[in-house]
Chains A and B, each alone.
Chain A
């Protein structure tokens, strides 16, 4: 079980307009670990998550989840988008939003049954929002909103969880309470993939790292990856050459690779 692959990303290239945001990224991730995806701003972290979730079409390459295509295992993978990606003034309660985690493909029209309700209540309780169950989401603090999103993903009862910047704009207390929820999930054998930008807390939060800057800089166990050399590769110095090439590609609409060459 331990050596099972949760997510396989194969030679993935994703472009917005002309410039590549992810460029020949290729890795396999283990199961049952808390994995951090780190890299500077604009390094393609969110793009990577969105491509894994099927929200963006890769220009080339593919993603496999538990060795299957996304559509076959959709109910095994849950996505927590960036908190700021939705309008929190939307008229809905905490319960309403968490219940969305139970909709799934087959459950769109039928009403939620007792099992759904129970799972939703449990998820709300796990993130410590039971007292806010019927509160309108517009009246929540940033940290509480983030916990609503996590509860919604918990309600999906998935194996793999992808979280985009769950610690952005939350206080330290919320951050550590979120981490303890995620650790609990890891102990149940779930895989948790987190986009993170605060290098200072990397050591406390993760056991496995994916270091990204358009290309894959490094991946592996924390100690192997979190080195000065890797970080300077990702965050500055040597790679300015790479970003210059990207700029040229953007400016000239130059193709990223020649059509008939398959890597």
Chain B
């Protein structure tokens, strides 16, 4: 608890830099990453990140010291070259994009490792600490770095706000944008450059290997929670910042722990959580939906059986007292299902129970009539409008009565010209 208080009160001034740095990096990469994901260029982020390494080394060689501006400049150039190389391979050969990304990524990374080894074997390189660019070292973020990260974030933010509509247009329908006279190539170049820039900003803290996660994952999570682009972008940024701060805290509270991997792990945990719990698309939501459907079908089938029982007994008032056995004789339910279904229907006021005998209430009568009517309307529809043997009609109509909406019911009635409940059941 003390560690936590120390952390949030920034007792150690270095913590401020780490937290701010990670927040700025994560926000920038989540913002532009949303467009990379929607352009189906998610893997490009991975290629770019790996391709930054040779640029970082060249930047170091040019500056002769670890100057972040030089390193980032070199990184942006090789990162951008890598996307250019992918495009050339795809356009000029039969190699597909995924293969091209794999080739470019590993080639640039190999060059990077060669340069890195060269630098470390030379006198000036020994204290360079460039190997932190492989796995990242957030603790080393300085005040000056934070300012550079903030500038990158602002550039990305301003560009997205200014060109939001065009970015969306180019992303959604590139060819159409061209026919409108939009300079599509220029905007694509801008999006790519912004992607490279925000990845380059992050490699010091997260390393070239993990940085691609910050481009791809937040947007993918945002997409799970929303269908609206502004919300997706906002959620991506929020989730990314949360995992950034979380990662910084873990590495603060136990000095042995690296920041970058923890940021990525927290982000992955959010992905897992979202896949389970997100509304509509989440596994839990879908499970619940299918369970509700199953229960609805069961309850409606019970009411239907009660109606059919009355028909069998030649009773039009629907007010007979019946037992569980009577229902079971009409339709074979699973005993447990039937018991719980009856309990629910009684609770909802469709059935009245007196000791062992069950009867329909007024609303129960109405509901059972509605279901039988839908079932038989659909049977009539199948018989009249399609080729189906009459002994198959019943099973074909079974289950459909639970789906038919009032609008569809009206259309059915209009098409068939039937009022009331058809007598015949197949």
The answer to whether A91 and B175 touch across the interface, beta carbons within 8 angstroms, is no
The answer to whether A100 and B182 touch across the interface, beta carbons within 8 angstroms, is no
Tell whether A58 is near chain B: CB-to-CB under 8 Å.
Answer: no
How far is A79 from B169 in the complex, measured between Cα atoms in Å? 14
Contact of A53 (CB < 8 Å), options: B162, B179, B223, B229? B179
Chain A residues with CB under 8 Å of B190's CB are none
The answer to whether B227 and A91 touch across the interface, beta carbons within 8 angstroms, is yes
The answer to whether A90 and B38 touch across the interface, beta carbons within 8 angstroms, is yes
The answer to whether A81 and B175 touch across the interface, beta carbons within 8 angstroms, is yes
Chain B residues with CB under 8 Å of A85's CB are 173, 175
The answer to whether B226 and A91 touch across the interface, beta carbons within 8 angstroms, is yes
Chain B residues with CB under 8 Å of A228's CB are none
The answer to whether B172 and A109 touch across the interface, beta carbons within 8 angstroms, is no
Number of A-B residue pairs, CB cutoff 8 Å, is 74
Tell whether A255 is near chain B: CB-to-CB under 8 Å.
Answer: no
The answer to whether A103 and B38 touch across the interface, beta carbons within 8 angstroms, is no
Contact of B227 (CB < 8 Å), options: A108, A109, A138, A152? A138
How far is A71 from B223 in the complex, measured between Cα atoms in Å? 37
Within 8 A of A (CB), among B135-189: 162-163, 165-166, 168-169, 171-173, 175-182
Minimum Cβ distance to chain A for residue B276 (Å): 21
The answer to whether B163 and A91 touch across the interface, beta carbons within 8 angstroms, is no
Contact of A79 (CB < 8 Å), options: B168, B176, B226? B176
Tell whether B228 is near chain A: CB-to-CB under 8 Å.
Answer: yes
Tell whether B232 is near chain A: CB-to-CB under 8 Å.
Answer: yes
Residues of A within 8 Å of B, CB-based: how many?
30
Tell whether A55 is near chain B: CB-to-CB under 8 Å.
Answer: yes
Tell whether A136 is near chain B: CB-to-CB under 8 Å.
Answer: yes
Tell whether A105 is near chain B: CB-to-CB under 8 Å.
Answer: yes
Q: CB-defined interface of A246-263 with B at 8 Å, one 1/0 digit per residue?
A: 000000000000000000
Chain B residues with CB under 8 Å of A105's CB are 180-182
Q: CB-defined interface of A133-177 with B at 8 Å, one 1/0 digit per residue?
A: 000101000000000000010001000000000000000000000
Tell whether A199 is near chain B: CB-to-CB under 8 Å.
Answer: no
Chain A residues with CB under 8 Å of B226's CB are 91
Tell whether A96 is near chain B: CB-to-CB under 8 Å.
Answer: yes
- 30 pairs, A vs B, C-beta closer than 8 Å: A53-B175, A54-B178, A74-B179, A74-B180, A74-B181, A79-B175, A79-B176, A79-B179, A81-B176, A85-B173, A86-B172, A87-B172, A90-B38, A90-B171, A91-B38, A91-B227, A100-B173, A100-B176, A103-B166, A103-B169, A103-B177, A103-B180, A104-B180, A105-B180, A105-B181, A108-B165, A109-B162, A109-B163, A109-B165, A156-B180
Residues of B near any A CB (own CB < 8 A): 38, 40, 162-163, 165-166, 168-169, 171-173, 175-182, 223, 226-229, 232
Known pairs A92-B229, A100-B173 / 14 extra A-B pairs, C-beta < 8 Å? A55-B175, A55-B178, A78-B179, A79-B175, A79-B176, A85-B173, A86-B172, A90-B38, A91-B227, A93-B228, A100-B176, A103-B166, A108-B182, A136-B227
